[in-house]
Amino acid sequence: MRALARNWGWMMAVLAFGWGSVWGAEWTAHQEGDKVIVKIDGELFTEYLTAPKLQPPLGPILWPIIGPTGKPMTRSYPMADREGERKDHPHHRSLWFNHGKVNGYDFWAKQPIQHREFVRVEGGQKAVIETRNDWLAPDGTKVCEDRRRLTFHGDRQCRMIDFDATITATEGPVTFGDTKEGCFAVRVAETMKVDANLGGHIVNSHGQRDKDAWAKRAEWVDYYGPVDGQIVGIAVMNHPASFRAPTYWHVRTYGLFAANPFGWKDFGASEDGTYTLPKGKSISFYYRIVLHKGDHQEGRIAELYRAYAEEKK
């Protein structure tokens, strides 16, 4: 009976967390030129675009990102025109990572992060993409570099992306300024945003909702709303080992959704969030994105976060 109870508990955990590796979901990652196409069981999940043909060329993004209902869950503009989408903030590009003040340069909206190389591209029970990237000043000189590892896992009901990034001050000291414009960000589908008044909502790990979730520190934030008539959500979780976790959140009712550990004063804190990374040193950021059906309760986001927080980094 005890063995049966243990097995039943294990099965319930699998159902709760949607671990595709248990059920054998097949993930593939295939490089085609300057991009990698990621599929789950032969169907498109996302593309890692190293150099989207946009101006300014800000750097790598994920787009499109297909949710568990088979529909895109991030905004298409400016990569493509889609009827009904608001054409604002052209630097908001589906899912991206940068910052608005790095040694005084604006990588959020002006300066490029240049893809240098793919270190690893592979599929299986998970798909993994690892890259090296250079952050470039206006004259083309390198400010710093990063190494990113994106791990794609889960199943058709609950799809996940682990985004791990380490920035290293290879050229000299690097100062990350206090600004709300950063750092790890998503722009949700137009119908999901709170301002669409179609049922979209923001909720964080402390229960703060919609406008009240902006400029707050939290372990996770979930942004959910309708896509083609079905409620779906994008949760972003900040691992405890991540730099300055739990992070502040630059999450807006018009659809922007960003984790930002530097924007303290911009978010109303009494202290300045500016941080200088000495030459040769590194800082690391760890986020998990969960694409799920329903709201944060149906998606079991609090439970998924607890499991994520226990993983070693």
Query: What does the pLDDT read at residue 20?
Result: 41
Query: What does the pLDDT read at residue 15?
Result: 44
Query: What does the pLDDT read at residue 17?
Result: 47
If you classify domain 2-309 with CATH, what class do you get? mainly beta
| pTM recorded for the entire structure | 0.93
Query: What does the pLDDT read at residue 5?
Result: 41
Query: What does the pLDDT read at residue 12?
Result: 42
Q: Name the residue among 235, 238, 248, 257 with its Cα closest to residue 188.
A: 257
Distances (CA, A) of 31 to 41, 50, 178, 210, 269: 17, 11, 36, 38, 43
Query: What does the pLDDT read at residue 19?
Result: 44
DSSP letter (8 states) at residue 247: P
Strands 174-176 and 275-277: antiparallel
- Residue pLDDT, tens place only, 174-219: 999 999 999 999 999 999 999 999 999 999 999 999 999 999 999 9
- Residue pLDDT, tens place only, 19-44: 444 456 899 999 999 999 999 999 99
Spans of the chain, pLDDT less than 70: 1-24
Query: What does the pLDDT read at residue 156?
Result: 80
Q: Name the residue among 178, 185, 182 with its Cα closest to residue 263.
A: 178
Which helix (H) or strand (E) segment holds residue 179: the answer is none
Strand order in the sheet with 220-227: 113-122, 127-136, 142-154, 158-168, 282-293, 230-238, 220-227, 201-204
Domain segments of the chain as ranges: 2-309
Strands 182-187 and 95-99: antiparallel
